[in-house]
Structure 1
Amino acid sequence: MVSVNWLAWTILLLAVVFEVIGTSFLNASQGFTRPWFSVAVVVSYIASFVGLALALKTIDMSIAYAVWAGLGIVFITFVGSLVFNEAITVSRMFFIALILTGVVGLNLLRT
């Protein structure tokens, strides 16, 4: 049975969440013209990169980065739709499904 370091994966998931929060605040900062949102961008991205760095102690870089970037894209697409009224089209959903398929596939194939 394959041993999984759940702490590393939890930290990686938290890093993804902070990356999505940071990207959302980046949009809300309106080009860094709104100071509180700008500070929130920096704090969120620092938390995200620290989490990613900690996860890399246990998880292979290629897997961790693919999960971090892929899930970030998926989550920010939904945040963009729900919070910023961006359109989610059928073609966007198709390609997001491909990203998720790639992330899941990488995790299933890791040894």
Structure 2
Amino acid sequence: MLINWFYLVSAILFEVLGTTCMKLSEGFKNLIPSILIFVFYGCGFTFSTLSLERIDVGVAYAIWSGLGTMLIASIGIIWFQESMSLVKFLSIALIITGVIGINASK
């Protein structure tokens, strides 16, 4: 069962890398990030599929989307100098709270 959680965390990280490469590709104008989008998303969906062998799909998807959103928002703010407002911060906090709530209800 622990391996399935490793797969889920790997899926999240690869999805975050793929999304970051979307930004870096500048609309498919930069070749390497454009290619890496597909590589990282392919790895992400592979690991996501493997994680679903023992993790409920609703729980896995909630964690995948919640943590992915939090990580991408953080990368946007830190690396790409995107703005951070109180509403954005509270919204991300609500997503994290939702992920915790879904896990606590198992």
2:102 maps to: 106
- Matches of 2:56 and 2:35 in 1, distance apart? 31
1:19 maps to: 15
Q: For 1:63, which of 59, 83, 93 is the aligned residue?
A: 59
Give the C-alpha shift of residue 59 in structure 1.
0.4
Kindly report the root-mean-square deviation, in angstroms, between the aligned alpha carbons of the 2 structures. 0.7
* Percent of paired sites with the same residue: 37
- Matches of 1:85 and 1:25 in 2, distance apart? 16
Instruction: State the SS of the aligned residue for 2:82.
Output: coil
User: Aligned pairs, how many?
Assistant: 106
Matches within 5 A, 1:1-111: 5-110=1-106
Runs of 4+ with >3 A deviation:
none
Letter paired with 1:16: I
TM-score normalised by structure 2 residue count: 0.96
Give the C-alpha shift of residue 7 in structure 1.
1.3
Give the C-alpha shift of residue 52 in structure 1.
0.5
Give the C-alpha shift of residue 53 in structure 1.
0.3
Instruction: State the SS of the aligned residue for 1:25.
Output: helix
Gaps of 5+ in 2: none
Instruction: State the SS of the aligned residue for 1:64.
Output: helix
Give the C-alpha shift of residue 83 in structure 1.
1.0
Give the C-alpha shift of residue 11 in structure 1.
1.1
Cα displacement string for residues 72-107 of structure 1 (whole angstroms, at most 9, x for unaligned residues):
000000000111110111111101111001101111
